[in-house]
Chain A
Amino acid sequence: MALTQSGPVNRFGIHPQKFALWAAMGSIVMMFASLTSAYVVRRGAGNWLEYKLPLLFFISTLVLLISSLTLHWSYSSYKKGLELRYKSFLVVTLLLGLAFAVLQYQGWLQLYSYGIELKGNPSGSFFYAISGIHLAHILGGLAALTVAGIHAFGLPFAVSEKRRHRFELVCHYWHFVDVLWVYLLTFMIIQQ
Chain B
Amino acid sequence: MAEVLENKVNLPDVDQLIREQGYDDHFHEHHHGDKYQSGFISKYIFSMDHKIIARQFLITGMIWAVIGGLMSLIFRLQLGFPEENFAWLRPLIGRWVTVNDAGVGTITPEFYYAMVTMHGTIIVFFVLTAGLSGTFSNLLIPLQVGARDMASPFLNMLSYWFFFLSSIVMLLSLFLSTGPFSGGWTAYPPLSALPQASDGSGAGMTMWLVSLTLFVVSVLLGGINYITTVLNLRTKGMSMWKLPLPIWAFFTTAVLGLLSFPVLVSGFLLLFFDRSLGTSFYLSEIFVGGQALDFAGGSPILYQHLFWFLGHPEVYIIILPAMGIVSEVLSVNSRRPIFGYRFMVYSILAIGFLSFIVWAHHMFMSGVNPFISNFFVIFTLIIAVPSAVKVFNWLTTLYGGNIRLTTAALYGIGFVSMFISGGLTGIFLGNSAIDVQQHDTYFVVAHFHIVMGVAAMFGMFAGVYHWYPKMYGRFMNETLGKIHFWGTMIGAYAIFWPMHYIGMAGVPRRYYRFDTFEAFKHFGALNKFMTIAAIIVFACQILFIINFFYSIWKGRKVTSRNPYNANTLEWTTETIVPGHGNWEGNIPTVQRWAYDYNKDEREFIPQYVPVGPDEKDESH
- Cβ of B612: which chain A residues have Cβ within 8 Å of it? none
Q: How far is B155's CA from A26's CA once the two chains are assembled, in angstroms?
A: 17
A31 adjacent to B232 (CB under 8 Å):
no
| 5 more A-B residue pairs beyond the given contacts A12-B231, A23-B224, A34-B266, with a C-beta to C-beta distance below 8 A | A2-B35, A6-B233, A16-B232, A26-B259, A30-B263
Q: Is A133 an interface residue (CB 8 A)?
A: yes
Judging by beta carbons under 8 Å apart, are A16 and B48 in contact? no
In the bound complex, how far is the Cα of B147 from the Cα of A135, in angstroms? 38
Please tell me the number of chain B residues within 8 Å of chain A, measured between CB atoms.
51
Known: A31-B262, A34-B262, A122-B280. A5 touches B153 (CB 8 A): yes
Q: Contact: B277 with A119, CB < 8 Å? A: yes
Pick the interface stretch among B12-20, B52-60, B297-305, B446-454. B297-305
Give the docked Cα–Cα distance between A125 and B25 (Å). 54
Known: A30-B259, A34-B262. A6 touches B279 (CB 8 A): no
A23 and B258: CB pair below 8 A? yes
Residue among B151, B281, B298 making CB contact with A16, cutoff 8 Å: B151
Asked if B417 is an interface residue, CB under 8 A from chain A, the answer is: no
A120 touches B296 (CB 8 A): yes
**A121 on the B face (CB < 8 A):** yes
9 A-B Cβ contacts within 8 A? A1-B154, A5-B148, A16-B228, A27-B220, A38-B270, A121-B296, A122-B298, A125-B280, A129-B281
Smallest distance from the beta carbon of B428 to chain A beta carbons, Å? 29
Are A6 and B151 touching (Cβ within 8 A)?
yes
Interface code B261-285, partner A: CB below 8 Å = 1, 0 otherwise? 1110111011001000111110000
A103 sits at the interface (CB 8 A): no
B71 at the interface (CB under 8 A from A): no
For the complex, give the distance between the alpha carbons of A20 and B224 in Å.
6
Bound: A54/B519 CA distance, A? 61
Task: Say yes or no: A5-B147 contact (C-beta < 8 A), given A119-B278, A129-B270.
Answer: yes
Task: Pick the residue among A10, A27, A47 that contacts B233 (CB under 8 A).
Answer: A10
Q: When the two chains form the complex, which single residue of B25, B48, B225, B299 contacts A42, counting CB atoms closer than 8 Å?
A: B299
Chain A residues near B155 (CB-CB < 8 A): 3, 20
Q: Which residue of B lies closest to A21 (CB)?
A: B224
| Chain A residues in 8 Å Cβ range of B330 | none
CB of A185 closer than 8 Å to a CB of B: no
A56 within 8 A of B: no
- Partner among A10, A26, A30, A129 whose Cβ is within 8 Å of the Cβ of B232: A10
**A38 B305 Cβ-Cβ under 8 A:** yes
Judged by a CB distance under 8 angstroms, whether A192 is at the interface is no
- Whether A26 pairs with B297 at a CB distance below 8 angstroms is no
A1-32: which residues lie under 8 A (CB-CB) from chain B? 1-7, 10-12, 14, 16-17, 19-20, 23-24, 26-28, 30-32
B:215-269 near A, CB below 8 Å: 220, 223-225, 227-229, 231-234, 236, 258-263, 265-267, 269
Whether the pair B153, A2 counts as a contact (CB closer than 8 A) is yes
Considering the chains assembled together, what is the distance between the CA atoms of A24 and B299 in angstroms? 30
Which 4 residue pairs are nearest across A and B when measured between Cβ atoms? A31-B262, A34-B263, A16-B151, A125-B279
CB contacts (< 8 Å) of B25 on chain A: these are 6-7
Residue of A nearest to B298 (CB): A122
Contact with A14, one of B232, B265, B294 (Cβ below 8 angstroms): B232
A5 to B210, CA, bound (A): 32
Cβ-defined contact, A20 with B259, below 8 A: no
Complex formed: what's the CA distance from A28 to B306 in Å?
15
Task: Tell me which of B223, B233, B269 contacts A133 (CB under 8 A).
Answer: B269
Q: How far is the CB of A16 from chain B (nearest CB, A)?
A: 4
* Residue A118 interfacial (CB < 8 Å): yes
- The smallest C-beta distance from B494 to any residue of chain A, in angstroms, reads 41
Which of B's residues lie within 8 Å of A, judged by CB?
25, 27, 35, 48, 147-155, 220, 223-225, 227-229, 231-234, 236, 258-263, 265-267, 269-270, 273, 277-281, 294, 296-299, 302, 305-306, 309
B514 to chain A, nearest CB (A): 37
Does A45 lie at the interface of the complex (its beta carbon under 8 Å from any beta carbon of B)?
yes
With A38-B270, A118-B277, A129-B270 as contacts: A27 and B258 at CB distance below 8 Å: yes
> Which B residues touch A101, using CB under 8 A?
none
B152 touches A4 (CB 8 A): yes
Contact present for A19 and B297 (CB under 8 Å) = no
Q: In whole Å, how far is A14's beta carbon from the nearest beta carbon of chain B?
A: 7
| Distance between Cα atoms of A31 and B259 in the complex (Å) | 8
- B372, chain A: closest CB distance, angstroms: 11
Whether B228 lies near A20 (C-beta < 8 A) is yes
Q: Taking A1-B154, A24-B224, A31-B262 as contacts, is the C-beta distance between A19 and B281 under 8 angstroms?
A: no
CA distance A27 to B270 in the complex (A): 18
Provide the bound-state CA to CA distance between A20 and B225, in Å: 7
- A150, chain B: closest CB distance, angstroms: 19
Contact (Cβ within 8 A) B265 A122 = no
Whether B224 contacts A3 by the Cβ 8 Å rule is no
> Contact partner of B309 among A7, A23, A34, A42, CB < 8 A?
A34
Q: A30-B262, A119-B280 are in contact. Are A41 and B228 (CB under 8 A)?
A: no
Give chain B residues whose Cβ lies under 8 Å from the Cβ of A20: 151-152, 155, 224-225, 228
Residues of B within 8 A of A16 (CB): 151-152, 228-229, 232-233
A126 to B266, CA, bound (A): 12
* Contact A125 B281, CB 8 Å, known A2-B154, A5-B153, A24-B220: yes
- CB neighbours (8 Å) of B294 from chain A are 119
Name the residue on B nearest A19 (C-beta): B228
Contact of B279 with A34 in the complex, beta carbons under 8 Å: no
Contact A122 to B232, CB < 8 A, known contacts A20-B151, A42-B299: no
* Bound Cα distance from A12 to B236, whole angstroms: 10
**Are B279 and A35 interface neighbours, CB within 8 A?**
no
Q: Are A122 and B281 in contact (CB under 8 A)?
A: yes
Tell whether, in the assembled complex, residue A34 and residue B267 are in contact, meaning their CB atoms are under 8 Å apart: yes
Q: Is the CB of B279 within 8 A of A118?
A: yes
Nearest residue (CB) in A for B272 is: A129
Q: How far is the CA of A16 from the CA of B294 in the complex (A)?
A: 50
Min CB gap B309→A, angstroms: 7
Kindly name the residue among B223, B260, B262, B265 whose own CB sees the greatest number of chain A CB atoms within 10 A: B262
- Shortest A79–chain B CB gap in Å is 24
Contacts of B228 in A (CB 8 A): 16, 19-20, 23
Chain A, 67-85, contact with B by CB distance < 8 Å: what is the 0/1 string? 0000000000000000000
Given A2-B48, A118-B279, are A19 and B262 neighbors across the interface (CB < 8 Å)?
A: no
- Cα(A41)–Cα(B228), bound, Å: 34
**A30–B266 alpha-carbon span in the complex (Å):** 9
Find the A residue at minimum CB distance from B279. Answer: A125
| Known contacts A45-B299, A129-B273; A27/B259 CB under 8 A | yes
Residues of A within 8 A of B231 (CB): 12, 19
